[in-house]
Amino acid sequence: MSATIKDFKGWLQEICSFNSFEQVIEVVENSGKSQPGKYEARFKVRIYTGNNCYAINAVERGKEANSYLGCVASARKPRAGEDWTRGNDLPDGKLNRETWEEIKNAIIAYELVKLAKKSRGRVEKEKGICDHRSLLVGNPFQGCKPDATFVSKVCACGAIVALERQEDGTVKIA
């Protein structure tokens, strides 16, 4: 089912959350009135995120079969060593709710970032199985005063662990 530019403006308002439309969406063009078979109305906006700009173009034509909704993503700054900004075409199609949902989902997917892999120590901490033995490898007292008997170290799991030097020179977790 085809929609109108008025419908599209309502869909945009849905993503504005607690902000007013004008605070988060730049209107680039708002022209014309659609009349059956005669004229077209255009509504172009830009939505900005920390790294990207999304240009969305809605065209309402007299014949609903020719209406259009599309989006282009562009980086807001070039990568190091490049003098252009990168971009991609996102979904496009008829001016309807289905195309809007495809565009909205593509914007969300474009903004997602990969999580850093958890270190072995962090996983052990989360599972409660780290025994901090990695701190006993080598000389944990290196850089300390020769007569130091206690030292605190940060384990790979993130815990701060006290180590004690024994009289025989061995080190144990205090």
39-74 residue pLDDT tens:
688 999 999 999 999 999 999 887 656 789 999 999
82-110 residue pLDDT tens:
988 999 999 999 999 999 999 999 999 99
Dist. CA 168–CA 148, nearest whole Å: 14
139-149 residue pLDDT tens:
777 777 777 78
Tokens for 79, please give them: 């990568």
Dist. CA 87–CA 49, nearest whole Å: 14
Find the helix or strand (DSSP H, E) in which 98 lies: helix 97-111
Dist. CA 128–CA 144, nearest whole Å: 30
Q: Hey, how many other C-beta atoms are within 10 angstroms of the C-beta on 41?
A: 20
What's the CA angle centered on 115, arms 111 and 118, to 5 degrees?
175
pTM for the model stands at 0.65
> Which residue(s) pair with 56 in the sheet?
45, 71
